Structure 1
Amino acid sequence: MGRPPRQLPATQPAAQPLPPAEDVLRALGGILAPLLRLLLASGMDYTRLAAELKPLFIEQARLELLRTGQKDTDSAISLLSGVHRKDVREWRENGLSGRIAQEMSVSSRVFARWVQDPLYRDRSKRPKPLPRLGPAPSFETLARGVTQDVHPYTVLTELIRLGLVEVRTVKGRDMVLPNRDGFVPPPGSREIMELFGGNISDHACAAVSNLLGKAPRLEQSVFAEGITPESAAQLGALARKLWSQARSEMIAEATRRYDADQHREDATCRMRFGAYFWSQDTMPDGPSQDITEQGERSDTE
């Protein structure tokens, strides 16, 4: 007698029809185009990108199998991801080669604390100028409140290098003045790459969650076409004004809730709230340029 057929895994059908692969690829073309410009400008070609994508496909395929109640065998991962079994086996043995988990830099954490902690904000809830040394509130106590491993002087010199603060002597006392535009690091810095990765990743997570029929997440935008560059510039100014208002209110509420939730065992969630503005000439031969300044973002984590 032959062996009985293996029992098929019990999987839950999708709550709603999933988008066809062709439609997904078409949408991804527009999403990937600016990212590919960044990769090419950074010296990364297709071969290097393909090598970096392989472990990501494996990792996400494994998570999808587990999510649907299936076993994450090498064969199942290979079939779902399209990656050869030997590469899946190597990934399982050696992990995600080349991927280094990076914590938020000390400068990012110090500036985030400056924005969030009422002790270091003025009446308008903006980070206020601080004496460089001395008792709280001072830059010295701000930096030491974030880390004891890096000297406040080192943190300050890094923030000055990034253009996020300046030091002025007022009545014989060194004062550290924050950049009033918020935490907007210079192009090419590690800090701006942290913002880039966090913003785009979480925005994509919200959009994909909605596409897959999960609980609705906020992911909306306002679109207008057929306006002049002057109108686009004015709308960009309005966008920054509206963001500044929403940002201040969200920081205040997030800070209140963070203080209330500390030491609770179920305080395991994180959030991100952001906004963006982009405008460009839509004529075929027109320049594709951002009419507005680089947007800002504030962490409340």
Structure 2
Amino acid sequence: MKRTKLAAMSDPTDRPEPTDAASPQAASLHAPVARLLRPLVRLFVARGITFPALTNLLRELYVNVAEYDFALACKEQTDSRVSLLTGIHRKEVRRLRGAGAPVSEVPGVVSRTSRIIARWIAAPEFTDGQGRPLPLPRLAEEAGPSFEALVAGVTRDVRPRAVLDEWLDRGLAVLDDQGRVVLLEGAYLPRGGGEPQFSCFSRNLHDHVAAAVENIMGEAPRFLERAVHYDGLSQTLAEQLEARACEIAMDALRQANAEAHAACIDDPGGTHRWNFGIYVFREETPPAITPPAPVATA
């Protein structure tokens, strides 16, 4: 006798939400999104972020974005609508709503160091005639700039000596033969894969992607987002162009920083932020694979 297995009756609300086939607009995004995510997936695998862990994070983000960014004016956002927008089951939506997006704040040491360096390479009293950061005496003197005055102009929560010890340890600055503090880098570039580096990584990559998405979703492009791109170059020329692009980029960043620093002096302050970033990338691309020609068979 054949046995039949009867499925237990369940609450209709427990059944998975129906999933529609991808729309033409969604399908057109598959290839560019895959290319966009590939370097991130390399980072995830290298750092031990597994696919299930990433899935949990994406589920939270989907619910949060649908709840807040796609709310209807003068109408309460419901679990059903969030579920419809995201394809996530209503029970999961109900559990995740209100949890907030998992966004980390910028570590205090990152913000403080960036502001001090930005002032050092922008303020006229701390730069020479060519706009280069001056070597600074450690302690304030009767006249002239000092490292102590530089730090005190940004924060009084940390002693200048503590900042100097941290910078010397991390290789951001050195002492010359006169005991003056010399900045080794024109911009704060944290390394080592720690929290400071990841904070800069998330901010800069987020802002670049956010600008590009805004340009796609808006009625007209709102942000400048351009690139100069050449293929089929020799390694020598590619390296030369990379070096020259870095020079041009740093000149632009220094000028933007100097003008922004000067403008902030008379600005009353508010709730807006601004980020001006430049990237340079070079890689060796594999040769295109030509599919074999079809062979006729008898």
Give the structure-2-normalised TM-score: 0.79
The alpha carbon displacement at 1:208 in A equals 0.5
* 1:129 corresponds to: 135
Q: Secondary structure at the match of 1:183?
A: coil
CA contact (8 A) 1:130 1:138 kept: yes
Give me the whole-angstrom Cα distance separating, in 2, the residues matched to 1:28 and 1:46: 17
* 2:26 corresponds to: 21
1:102 aligned onto 2:106: yes
The alpha carbon displacement at 1:53 in A equals 1.7
Give me the whole-angstrom Cα distance separating, in 2, the residues matched to 1:215 and 1:139: 46
Q: Secondary structure at the match of 1:140?
A: helix
Give me the whole-angstrom Cα distance separating, in 2, the residues matched to 1:83 and 1:117: 51
Structure 1: segments with no counterpart, 5+ residues? 1-17, 286-301
* 1:145 corresponds to: 153
1:54 aligned onto 2:59: yes
**Closer, same or farther in 2 for the Cα pair 1:123/1:215, shift >3 Å?**
farther
Percent identity between the two aligned chains:
35
CA contact (8 A) 1:78 1:84 kept: yes
* 2:14 corresponds to: none
CA contact (8 A) 1:130 1:175 kept: yes
Which of 62, 72, 78 pairs up with 2:77?
A: 72
Q: Deviations over 1:6-26 (max 9, x none)?
A: xxxxxxxxxxxx981112121
* 1:168 corresponds to: 176
* 1:157 corresponds to: 165
Coordinate RMSD, CA, aligned: 2.5
CA contact (8 A) 1:129 1:175 kept: yes
* 1:63 corresponds to: 68
Q: Deviations over 1:241-280 (max 9, x none)?
A: 211221222122212322232x25xx43221112111111
Q: Which amino acid aligns with 2:35?
A: G
**Closer, same or farther in 2 for the Cα pair 1:228/1:71, shift >3 Å?**
same
Give me the whole-angstrom Cα distance separating, in 1, the residues matched to 2:89 and 2:107: 32
The alpha carbon displacement at 1:152 in A equals 1.8
The alpha carbon displacement at 1:283 in A equals 1.8
* 1:277 corresponds to: 280
* 1:12 corresponds to: none
Give me the whole-angstrom Cα distance separating, in 1, the residues matched to 2:197 and 2:211: 21
Give me the whole-angstrom Cα distance separating, in 1, the residues matched to 2:207 and 2:64: 18
Give me the whole-angstrom Cα distance separating, in 2, the residues matched to 1:100 and 1:257: 29
The alpha carbon displacement at 1:34 in A equals 0.5
* 2:271 corresponds to: 268
Q: Which amino acid aligns with 1:239?
A: A
Q: Which amino acid aligns with 2:210?
A: C
* 2:35 corresponds to: 30
Give the structure-1-normalised TM-score: 0.78
Q: Secondary structure at the match of 2:118?
A: helix
Give me the whole-angstrom Cα distance separating, in 2, the residues matched to 1:208 and 1:95: 21
Q: Secondary structure at the match of 1:116?
A: coil
Number of equivalent positions: 261
**Closer, same or farther in 2 for the Cα pair 1:30/1:93, shift >3 Å?**
closer
Q: Which amino acid aligns with 2:217?
A: L
**Closer, same or farther in 2 for the Cα pair 1:81/1:175, shift >3 Å?**
same
Q: Secondary structure at the match of 2:114?
A: helix
* 2:228 corresponds to: 222
Give me the whole-angstrom Cα distance separating, in 2, the residues matched to 1:19 and 1:237: 41
The alpha carbon displacement at 1:233 in A equals 0.4
Q: Which amino acid aligns with 1:221?
A: A
1:233-248 to structure 2, matched below 5 A, reads: 233-248=239-254
CA contact (8 A) 1:133 1:140 kept: yes
Give me the whole-angstrom Cα distance separating, in 1, the residues matched to 2:212 and 2:103: 25
* 1:194 corresponds to: 199
- Segment drifting more, 34-43 vs 224-233: 34-43
**Closer, same or farther in 2 for the Cα pair 1:95/1:274, shift >3 Å?**
closer
The alpha carbon displacement at 1:80 in A equals 1.1
* 1:292 corresponds to: none
1:201-220 to structure 2, matched below 5 A, reads: 201-216=206-221, 217-220=223-226
